[in-house]
Amino acid sequence: MNNKLKKQTNSFFYAFRGLFSVLNTEGHMRFHLVTAVFVVAFVLKFYELDAASWAVLTLTISSVWVTEIINTAIEKVCDTITKEYNKNIKYIKDICAGAVLITAFASIIVAFILLFDVNAFKDMYTYFVKTNIWALFVLNAGIILGVLFVAVKPEKYLGFLRKKSEKK
């Protein structure tokens, strides 16, 4: 029984390691994460979704992530097979990228269906522009940090943080 528990624990460890690995190497995955964080934060603040809508939103976000992860895995397999140009591998990679694109477009449509609400947009405007200018500052700072998180490979700032902690 102990061996089964260890295998199960290791499976979770490997799965989380895979998630961190894809976040570390794939800018698109970081983009999907940042987008999801902003969407969920706005939904929590400005919408009152029922359980079914939350389920749809959760499935939509996770489908984009899963498609991106599968795309990355297939690309890595193709790159392991050969680094040289191969029209079949190009075809495989293009198909996988197309699957991610379809899922991303579908998520935009789902978000539009669930979240298009003129009153919510008015509430956002009032909240950020008229009543809480600090929230607008925090939002802009979050956007800047999100862009940096997507654009800069994590090893750049994680390496910087490691160097800072080693000096102490």
Query: Is 74 a residue whose pLDDT tops 90?
Result: yes
Alpha helices, DSSP H only, in the chain?
A: 2-25, 27-46, 51-81, 87-115, 118-125, 133-151, 154-167
**Residue 36 CB contacts under 8 Å (≥ 6 apart), including other chains:** 61, 64, 65
Interval 18-31 mean pLDDT? 92
Query: Is 164 a residue whose pLDDT tops 70?
Result: no
Whether the CB-CB separation of 22 and 153 falls below 8 Å is answered with no
Using one digit for the tens of pLDDT, what is the confidence trace for 77-117? Answer: 999 999 999 999 999 999 999 999 999 999 999 999 999 99
Interval 5-28 mean pLDDT? 89
In the chain, the percentage of residues whose pLDDT exceeds 70 is 92
What is the model's pLDDT at position 4?
A: 86
- Give the tokens for residue 152: 């800069």
Report d(CA 67, CA 86) in Å as an integer: 23
Using one digit for the tens of pLDDT, what is the confidence trace for 146-156? Answer: 999 999 888 77
